Amino acid sequence: MIFDYETLKLAWWILIGVLLIGFAITDGFDMGACALLPLVAKTDDERRVVINTMAPHWDGNQVWFITAGGALFAAWPLVYAAAFSGLYWAMMLVLFALFMRPVGFDYRSKMDDPRWRNAWDWALVVGGAVPALVFGIAFGNLLQGVPFQYDELLRPSYHGSFFSLLNPFALLCGIISLTMLALHGATWIQMRTQDKVEERARSLAKRLAVLLVATFAIAGIWLAWSIEGYMIISLPEKGGAANPLLKEAIKASGAWLHNYAVQPATLIAPILAFVGAIAAGIFSHVRYTGLSFISSATAVTGVILTAGFSMFPFVMPSSLIPSHSLTLWDAASSAGTLMVMTWAAIIFVPIILGYTFWCYRAMWQKIGVRFIKENPHSLY
């Protein structure tokens, strides 16, 4: 075996983080642009402009989401089982909201009736805004701990409800997620469109950048002063069989900041979030649209890394019995499974990246109302 078991566990924590960041950067601007559709596009032609900036890429972008879900199932089966059973209704809400985008893209142009098209446009808004909001709410609940526990046979039981997920801190995290992806969508729209649509997107990007900085700062202060984090007191051998019941963990005030004190280099994550958001607003103001998009992608990366570094090595903390929390050390698959997945990732992730970049390069151009009118039958 090339890698030992402990290294494989850490590698797959990193790889799943990469997949989540890839999903947030690529499919994130789709969700953000859909959520902003009625704000940046006032006429049917303008809405078609925005839709056609996403239409060639949205299904390819969702490959990151599918890959991340598959990797979660294969690398951390205990997390997959506990999350998808306990958070069933939240997952179903995201799933049905995601259905809205493909049918919205495909069906809105089937008829010229304005009522028909407006209905599908609002379906696209729901398909963009709801998943962005719920993803943030999910991370907010992870940071507070999820009410689950295991019995002696390692069967998880969830003791919360759907509405208990909608607590104040989680809702703030949902607003951060929605704002973050809306900012990313606004920078995408201004980079790919012209005229009035571009101007509206620029104006929104500047406002969303300010809102993201403010809400992210408030969440950080709230997390530091009012929310207990989790700490591991003792672990069995890291190379042994994965069993979350063999460790000892506790809740402690300020524990989510412990990693930043021990490893100051991790402070790069919140710095990237703040600097990326501020730069996105500044570059939008001075009309450097490409740099604005790169900056918003940097902010997205920083926000996700901040959550990951804060929780490390926890993946799904338990608010009922802290020692039943799932970490990357005790929720992982077998060494053989992780090794096979590692080789698959080494081979296929570069192929996916290469194909994605080729698609964007081949279909890259700015789109305006004039272009839409000149190509009435070849576009959505």
Per-residue model confidence as pLDDT tens digits over 315-369 = 999 999 999 999 998 888 888 899 999 998 888 888 888 888 888 887 787 888 8
Give the pLDDT score at 239. Answer: 57
Q: pLDDT band for position 2 (50/70/90)?
A: low
Instruction: Give me the mean pLDDT over the 105-114 stretch.
Output: 86
Instruction: Give me the mean pLDDT over the 38-60 stretch.
Output: 88
Percent of the chain's residues with pLDDT above 90: 57
> Cα(274)–Cα(291) distance, rounded to whole angstroms?
15
Give the pLDDT score at 91. Answer: 87
Give the pLDDT score at 377. Answer: 65
Give the pLDDT score at 60. Answer: 79
Instruction: Give me the mean pLDDT over the 288-300 stretch.
Output: 96
Cβ burial 128-139 (10 Å sphere, 16+ → b, else e): bbbbbbbbbbbb
C-beta atoms surrounding 121 within 10 Å: 20
Q: What sign results for the dihedral spanned by CA atoms 211, 99, 103, 60?
A: positive
Which region among 61-75, 266-280, 365-379 has the lowest average model confidence (pLDDT)?
365-379
Quick check: helix, strand or coil at residue 250? strand
Instruction: Give me the mean pLDDT over the 298-320 stretch.
Output: 95
Domain ranges of the chain: 5-374
Percent of the chain's residues with pLDDT above 70: 97
> What residue spans of the chain are helical by DSSP H?
5-35, 37-40, 44-54, 58-75, 77-86, 88-107, 114-144, 168-192, 195-226, 258-262, 268-285, 289-311, 335-362, 369-374
Give the pLDDT score at 317. Answer: 95
Give the pLDDT score at 62. Answer: 82
Instruction: Give me the mean pLDDT over the 40-63 stretch.
Output: 87
The residue behind tokens 């009118």 is 373
Give the pLDDT score at 238. Answer: 60
Instruction: Give me the mean pLDDT over the 144-157 stretch.
Output: 89
Taking only the tens place, the pLDDT of each residue in 6-35 is: 889 999 999 999 999 999 999 999 999 999
Q: pLDDT band for position 82 (50/70/90)?
A: confident
Give the pLDDT score at 52. Answer: 87
Is it the case that residue 380 has pLDDT exceeding 60? yes
**Rounded (10°) CA dihedral 132, 226, 263, 26:** 0
Is it the case that residue 312 has pLDDT exceeding 80? yes
Give the pLDDT score at 197. Answer: 94
Task: Indicate the pTM of the whole model.
Answer: 0.92
Is it the case that residue 1 has pLDDT exceeding 60? no
Give the pLDDT score at 241. Answer: 63
Is it the case that residue 226 has pLDDT exceeding 70? yes
Beta-carbon contacts of residue 372 (< 8 Å; ≥ 6 apart): 45, 48, 49, 52, 379
Quote the mean pLDDT of the chain: 90
Is it the case that residue 219 has pLDDT exceeding 70? yes
Instruction: Give me the mean pLDDT over the 297-324 stretch.
Output: 95
Is it the case that residue 220 has pLDDT exceeding 90? yes
Determine if residue 145 is left, alpha or beta; phi over 0 gives left, psi from -120 to 50 gives alpha, anything else beta.
Answer: left
